[in-house]
Chains A and B, each alone.
Chain A
Amino acid sequence: MDNQTDNILSDEEVRKLVLARLSVLSPDVIVSLGSDGSFTRDQLVESVERGDRVGEKLAEIQMEWLRSFKDGVMV
């Protein structure tokens, strides 16, 4: 993550935020993340806790999305 992002939230805070978001998903939801595969809610939570590639990707998406609000730019 870049300096701007670091100024907003630490990596640990981002991880907690992503976990909080995932924890409210319904248990039957599946997320397709391209060639990484398809994951249940619980598998996504495990990935974030482990900090693997999928977990890192989810954190990146979360941060970019939050930044879009800060910047006021949808795309």
Chain B
Amino acid sequence: MKMIVTKPQHDVTTRYLSAWAEEVIELAEEKGVDVIELLREKANKKEFESRVNKLSPRLIFLNGHGSDECVTGHDNKILVKSGENHEVLVGKITYALSCNSAKILGTKVAQEKDTAYIGYADEFIFMAGSECIRKPALDPKAKPFMEASNQVMISVLKGHSARESAERSKNIFRDRYIKLLSSNTDQDSLQAAQYLWWNMRNLVCLGDGDVTA
């Protein structure tokens, strides 16, 4: 099985997403998945389309910014867009860790057979600590957000269906939400809880939820 992971790294957000994607990549490699990483400038439309068409990966893990209609790669250049090249995601399980893209792009892709699109119907928000900005994978403020998000791909890699994987991710969001909500030792915990709740609420699985890797 093959998996393509996009890892743009042009700003704080994309550097965090890329760093935390390593947890998923490590698990995939442990399970014998052939992982193709599109790092920094390689996370561009031409390279992405070329690799997907040539390798036909079953799994696609998009890390980047997004809008209702698209997910972007390095330097916020469009990687995949509804009505333009969305068919590149047909027949695959895609997890888009980006804002908003489930609204139109995900809905469009999910109309196709044997296809699932897991993503967010609104903004994906996370907290970070400025002292960890150069070592994002060690940032305790980002940890509950990224652990919950990563659960989508971890569950898919463990053989769960797309729908189950989204639900298992929501469960982690819920668990971290309740822990932060009941914390009285961290002055940022209530705001962090609110943003976890928002991400949990906007995480959706579209298309054929029964598909597995």
Binding site for B on A (CB under 8 A): 21-22, 24-26, 28-38, 40, 57, 61-62, 64-65, 68, 74-75
Contacts and interface: CB of A to CB of B under 8 A. Distances in A.
B191 A22 contact: yes
22 contacts: A24-B187, A25-B188, A28-B129, A28-B131, A29-B130, A29-B188, A30-B127, A31-B125, A31-B191, A31-B195, A32-B13, A32-B127, A33-B125, A35-B65, A35-B66, A38-B13, A38-B128, A61-B125, A61-B198, A68-B197, A74-B197, A75-B170
A62 B126 CA distance: 15
B179 interface: no
A41 B130 CA distance: 11
B170 A28 contact: no
B197 A35 contact: no
A21 B93 CA distance: 38
B61 interface: no
B133 A34 contact: no
Given A37-B11, A65-B198, A32 B130 contact: no
B141 A29 contact: yes
Contacts of A38: 11-13, 128
Given A25-B187, A57-B123, A32 B197 contact: no
Contacts of A36: 123
B127 A29 contact: yes
Contacts, number: 85
Most buried by B among A28, A34, A64, A68: A34
A15 to B, nearest CB: 16
8 smallest CB-CB distances across A and B, nearest first, come from A34-B99, A35-B65, A38-B12, A28-B130, A30-B128, A32-B13, A34-B123, A65-B194
Contacts of A22: 191
A31 B128 CA distance: 6
Contact of B200 (A57, A61, A75): A75
A21 B23 CA distance: 32
A25 B203 CA distance: 26
A34 B98 contact: yes
A5 B207 CA distance: 32
Contacts of B197: 65, 68, 74
